[in-house]
Amino acid sequence: MVRVLQTDNYGMSFNSPRFSRHELIRTKFFPLRKVWTPLDGLAVWLPRSSGYDLIHSFNRIPLTRKPWIVTFEAELPRTIGDTTGKIKQFLRRRLTLDNCRQIIAMSDYAKFKFIEYNRDWNLLEAVTKKIEIIHPNIPIKASQPKTYDKTQPLQILFVGNHFARKGGIVALRLAKKAKAAGLPIVMHIVSQMAYGNNIYTDHPNQKLYKEDIELLSLDNIVFHGKQPNQVVMELMARSHFIILMSLHDTYGYSVIEGFSVATPAIVTNVCALPEFVYHNHNGYVIPLQLNQKEWIHLSQRGDSDEYWDILHKTYEDLAEHTLQVLAAKIFENPANYESLSLGALAQAQKLHNTQKTSEKLDSLYDQLVNR
């Protein structure tokens, strides 16, 4: 049995064994970004007495002589605010050490970001050989696909605390358009409603979102606020679609949670989402214009009227496109739905099956410690 010290956070819960023959020691790390932002990429744990054989970190590089691995979702190493590049150089060197046994990318997108971010590094090719792609995992709860009865409203669920970034504005506008078109859509919203201000995709002026936020009062929108995961999973099981019209999302855990209960997804094509959501197979992919797998306007974020115009048009186009897809694919052909639900469940079993991933990671822990 291997004793594995792990980062205890939300991301790691999807990227570690949920059923393990080893001892998984989940511990909070000390957030060094509170001391100095550029140190956010370094993992330092609070003191603990019990021993361990291996560290499995998430997004952050440990400072240790023990064998270690790191799972990451985008750029690695994290070096926000490192104007001199010294922290980046230090953390890069740690990736070359022999006790860095494995680097796990959550997706093809994550590996792509790693290579792009470190393209100026002369050791990139050697370190890239340590990378293996292992997608996040989720317990599969459904055993059969769902159907859609066209006599009932289509239930769509949005889940996301970063409301605008993840597509909550699009969800609201879609509900408004559906109501105007006489299409029976009920939009469920689970969110703590964070938007604007310092969220990196949003316009910082919250007042610009006022008209959209007022749509929460529509009678075909149900606002649930922030809910515990158990409640969210129950809503997912009762919904026909998960919607994630994200402008940027390194993965999209809510989508695979939906797949685990046979609920297909409606997503944009940003980042890793097209790696597991396939148009007309397990959901619908609504395209944004991309640059290196990310929304082309992501770097234009600012407080200008021009940026709000870009956001407004993007929200509007996504909502209109989604409405047209649902009208043609579901409301005119409701029998299509069962195959989407079947595809969602099959995708969860193929790529996100927690039993298979747990066994794979357990074997990896054995190999790396006993190498």
The band of 48, judged by pLDDT with boundaries at 50, 70 and 90, is low
Lowest-pLDDT range of 42-56, 76-90, 219-233: 42-56
| pLDDT bracket for residue 158 (50, 70, 90) | very high
Question: What are 184-193's pLDDT values in tens digits?
Answer: 999 999 999 9
pLDDT bin (cut points 50, 70, 90) of residue 50 is low
Across 354-359, average pLDDT? 97
The yes-or-no verdict on residue 26 having pLDDT over 60 is: yes
List the one residue out of 203, 212, 206 whose CA is nearest residue 300: 203
> What's the pLDDT band for 49 if we cut at 50, 70, 90?
low
**Per-residue confidence (pLDDT) for residue 47, from 0 to 100:** 61
Give the pLDDT confidence score for residue 7 in this predicted structure. 87
Half-sphere exposure of 44 (CA within 13 A, CB side): 9
Domain ranges across the chain:
3-134, 154-351
Report, at the CATH architecture level, how domain 154-351 is classified: 3-Layer(aba) Sandwich (3.40)
Cβ–Cβ under 8 Å, residues 137 and 299 = no
pLDDT band at 29 (very low <50, low <70, confident <90, very high): confident
Least confident of 34-43, 56-65, 153-162, 245-254: 34-43
Specify the range with the lowest mean pLDDT, choosing from 47-56, 117-126, 132-141, 261-270. Answer: 47-56
Q: How many CA atoms lie within 13 A of 201 on its CB side?
A: 25
Segment 225-281, tens digit of pLDDT: 999 999 999 999 999 999 999 999 999 999 999 999 999 999 999 999 999 999 999
Per-residue model confidence (pLDDT) at position 38: 87
Task: Give tens-digit pLDDT for 279-334.
Answer: 999 999 999 999 999 999 999 999 999 999 999 999 999 999 999 999 999 999 99
